[in-house]
Chain A
Amino acid sequence: MSGRVIVITSGKGGVGKTTASANIGVALANTGASVALVDMDIGLRNLDILMGLENRVVYNLIDVVEERCKLRQALVKDKKLPNLSLLPAAQTRDKTAVNSEQMKVLCNELRELFEFVIIDSPAGIESGFQNAVAGADEAIVITTPEMSAVRDADRIIGLLEARKDEIKEYRLVLNRIRPAMVKNNDMMSVDDVLEILSVKLLGVVPEDEEVITSTNKGEPVSASENVRSGLAFRNIARRLRGEDVPFMDLDPQNSTWFSRIVKFFNPAVRV
């Protein structure tokens, strides 16, 4: 087998890399694909928590790299999906514990075992990021519509462009969209961000409190039906598999009598 190695990265911290990694991993596994999730945030291990697997971690990525265990021993199988495994980060080491060459070897070993290898990159553009992208052939850039996050995403896109030979494709996931605020012209829209970054769109995820609840339960939201953010992540997984899935309509349902009257006077007004 020669699987696809996809790195999930953002530059800025706290925009949803780990949440996206967990959810895209689960959604891909639910389509029947075999998936490995790799936590590259060495020293700040978190992906195991989102997956609800924190009690099952025995070995980690650094143990594999330093040959204290076999790759298969370090992989933690998901509770519900037998075709989904997690390779946890080390919690007591730091980003210098691994280098780019070792990551390339590890990624090539993983792609022999899985159809999809999803790498959760740490924030920043230093060695942690460089290691996370080292073995990847595709990237997902994740950002929110805030100015600071968009600026950092642009920097990451620049760095990915410089690696064109290895990173064949990169696409954007716009996270935490608040449709009501966009409609009120209080924040940038999906189209605004796409225009500014000049990048291909992979998915749009609405702001959703369910994400917090699901994290607390250790069950990624993409596994639950009837949750908007979950559907958004499932759509992303389908697009990654080459399906042509239309983007979600995020317009808030607010056609009240008042908004209709305002619109009657001036159709340009966005209520």
Chain B
Amino acid sequence: MQQVLNWFFRGATGTVRETAKDRMRTMLVSDRLELPAGRIEMLQEELVAVVSRYFELDGETTKFDLQQFERRAQLIANFPLVRSKC
């Protein structure tokens, strides 16, 4: 019964179509930048290390995201700062 109800009230999220679209976006961003696997994670670690020298970071909410704007990729980094370290 639960399944039937879920089917009735499902929206467009979590569908095969959304999965395909998300995989596609991620794949094309790396394709276009000719980005080797793991490179973004490496950059993230280094940036976190640099910012941490100056600020105490809220590690839980640090966010790192590659997005697409037109045919350009954008790196969105979000470093919530707790306090200065000096």
Contacts and interface: CB of A to CB of B under 8 A. Distances in A.
Interface in B1-37: 8-12, 15-18, 20-21, 23-25, 27-28, 31-32
A66 interface: no
A265 B20 contact: no
A185 B18 contact: yes
A266 B31 CA distance: 39
B16 A150 contact: no
B9 to A, nearest CB: 5
Interface residues of A, number: 23
Contacts of A266: 8-9, 11
Given A154-B32, A198-B71, A186 B10 contact: no
The 5 closest A-B pairs by CB, nearest first: A185-B15, A185-B17, A268-B11, A198-B71, A198-B70
Interface of A: 147, 150-151, 154-155, 157-158, 161, 182, 185-189, 192, 196, 198, 262, 265-266, 268-270
Interface of B: 8-12, 15-18, 20-21, 23-25, 27-28, 31-32, 68, 70-71
10 contacts: A147-B23, A147-B27, A151-B27, A151-B31, A188-B17, A196-B28, A198-B71, A262-B8, A268-B12, A269-B9
